[in-house]
Structure 1
Amino acid sequence: MYTGQTEQPCCLCGADETVARLDLPPRTVTLMRNSGPIAWRDIVGEVSIHFCESDWELVRELVLDMGMLPLSRCNVAHASMSLREDFEALLNATRDEPDQTALEASALERSREVLDDPEAEPQAAVQARVVVFALDELDVTDGHEARQPDHA
């Protein structure tokens, strides 16, 4: 639902001026700070996080040079997302819980294509690695959670 905010602040420091954006699958919000009250399954579409110039340089180095995932430092309160309840309130109709597996599978496929391209732009490479690292940390493979063996 529109709340009057048209610009997204940096998810690391809260600065208003941002230079880069990453679009991530909804499940990745669980890796961000302050994500406890958010039901990721109720997010409709991708989640966008933004970075100011100095933080973007740090994120690029962490992801591309060190192979680290920066999401634990990102404040989910500064992320841009649409929630199912907002659509229900706007349309005055109940919607089914979104199935995120297709979105995750598509994000993984796009990310792998970018990572296979040696000519990929740095921002695309950062986004691709963040998606792959995050979904790997969450045990999501090809859009599905990895099944843990049953213990009898």
Structure 2
Amino acid sequence: MFTGKTEQPCCLCDDPETATRIDLPPRAVPAMKHADAIAWQDIVGEVSIHFCANDWELVRDLVLDMGMNPLGRCNVARASFDLREDFEAMLSQTRDEPDHGPVEQRMLEESEAVLEAEEATDRARVEALLVRWTLSDRLPS
């Protein structure tokens, strides 16, 4: 049985033909629509969301031109992510939550490098800003 990431439809309109993928830290999940039942702490690695060509234009404009975060409109059911295996109920053991620190730190460093680069693509800049906004509460003061 395969439990890895798969390409998902557009997280805004459910169009199966997507044009752009954005990778975010697990901490982005609670900001997404219908995320109440998902324990984001159990996500291993990155969360990927996909956009169709039409919605990508809107998202790009919202983020780059207006400084608005579109994650609240993205349906988490259309995101792609890996959950850690849950053997706790079967084994009657409590396991530690995955440590998101290294993933978040790497994504934040990559995002800052993209934002400092003069010739970054719009996709890279949108992803970098969404990562920065998602992790802004984790930035050192």
User: If the length of structure 1 is used for normalisation, what is the TM-score?
Assistant: 0.82
Whether contact under 8 Å (1:19, 1:51) holds in the other structure is yes
* Displacement after TM superposition at 1:85 (Å): 2.4
Measured in 1, the distance between the counterparts of 2:124 and 2:108 equals 13
Measured in 2, the distance between the counterparts of 1:45 and 1:6 equals 14
Quote the sequence identity (%): 59
Partner in structure 2 of residue 84 of structure 1? 84
Q: Using a 3 Å threshold, how does the CA distance of structure 1 residues 84 and 20 change in structure 2: closer, same or farther?
A: same
Partner in structure 2 of residue 140 of structure 1? 138
Partner in structure 2 of residue 35 of structure 1? 35
* Displacement after TM superposition at 1:59 (Å): 0.4
SS in 1 for 2:10: coil
**Which shifted more, 99-108 or 15-24?**
99-108
Runs of 5+ unmatched residues, structure 1: 147-152
2:111 is aligned with 1:114: no
Measured in 2, the distance between the counterparts of 1:39 and 1:97 equals 10
The number of residues matched between the two structures is 138
SS in 2 for 1:47: strand
* Displacement after TM superposition at 1:96 (Å): 3.4
Whether contact under 8 Å (2:7, 2:80) holds in the other structure is no
Tell me the C-alpha RMSD between the 2 structures: 2.4
Partner in structure 1 of residue 56 of structure 2? 56
Measured in 2, the distance between the counterparts of 1:130 and 1:118 equals 18
* Displacement after TM superposition at 1:7 (Å): 3.3
* Displacement after TM superposition at 1:57 (Å): 0.3
SS in 2 for 1:48: strand
Measured in 2, the distance between the counterparts of 1:17 and 1:95 equals 38
Q: After TM superposition, where is structure 1 displaced by more than 2 Å over at least 4 residues in a row? A: none
* Displacement after TM superposition at 1:105 (Å): 1.1
Runs of 5+ unmatched residues, structure 2: none
Measured in 2, the distance between the counterparts of 1:85 and 1:13 equals 30
Measured in 2, the distance between the counterparts of 1:62 and 1:126 equals 9
